[in-house]
C-alpha cells in the first residue's frame, strides 16, 4: 500500500465513522423527540385528570354548601316563627322559677 492509498483508507474510515456518528446523533435526536412527545402527552393526561378531579371536588363542595345553606334557611324560618308556650310548659316554667327563688334567693 502506498502512502496515498493508506491516507485514502484512513480518510474513508474517518468519513465512515463520521457518517456513523451522524446517524447515531440523528437516531438519538429522534428518540429524544419521541420521549419529549410522550412526556408532554403524559403531562397533558395528568393535567386533564387533575382538572376533572378538581371539578368533582368543586361540584361536591357546591352541593354541600347549597344543602347546608338550605338547612340553615329552614332552621332560620323555624326560629322566626313565634313559639307558643303551651299551658303545661308555662306551669312547669313557673314552678321552676318558684323553686329557684325558694332555694337561692330566700334564706
* Averaged pLDDT score across all residues of the chain: 90
> Model pTM?
0.50
Residue 24 lies in a domain: yes
Question: pLDDT value at position 1?
Answer: 60
The answer to whether residue 44 is domain-embedded is: yes
Q: Does the residue 73 lie in any domain?
A: yes
What percent of the chain is helix, strand and coil (3-state, nearest 5)?
90, 0, 10
Question: Distance (Å, rounded) from C-alpha 57 to C-alpha 61?
Answer: 6
Residue 88 lies in a domain: no
**pLDDT tens per residue across span 37-63:** 999 999 999 999 999 999 999 999 999
The proportion of the chain whose per-residue pLDDT surpasses 90, expressed as a percent, equals 66
- Domain with 64, as residue range(s), is 3-82
Mean pLDDT along residues 62-82: 87
Structural domain tally of the chain?
A: 1
23 in any annotated domain: yes
Q: How far is CA 13 from CA 19, 27, 45, in A?
A: 10, 21, 47
Q: Per the domain annotation, does 104 fall within a domain?
A: no
Residue 8 pLDDT: 87
Decide if 106 is inside a domain.
no
96 domain residue, yes or no: no
DSSP code of residue 103: I
Q: Residue 8 is placed in which grid cell?
A: 485514502
Amino acid at each position: 500500500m502506498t502512502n496515498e492509498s493508506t491516507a485514502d483508507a484512513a480518510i474513508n474510515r474517518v468519513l465512515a465513522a463520521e457518517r456513523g456518528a451522524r446517524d447515531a446523533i440523528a437516531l438519538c435526536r429522534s428518540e429524544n423527540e419521541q420521549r419529549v412527545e410522550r412526556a408532554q402527552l403524559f403531562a397533558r393526561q395528568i393535567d386533564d385528570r387533575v382538572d376533572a378531579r378538581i371539578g368533582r371536588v368543586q361540584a361536591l363542595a357546591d352541593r354541600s354548601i347549597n344543602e347546608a345553606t338550605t338547612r340553615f334557611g329552614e332552621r332560620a324560618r323555624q326560629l322566626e316563627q313565634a313559639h307558643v308556650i303551651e299551658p303545661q310548659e308555662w306551669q312547669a316554667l313557673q314552678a321552676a322559677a318558684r323553686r329557684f327563688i325558694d332555694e337561692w334567693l330566700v334564706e
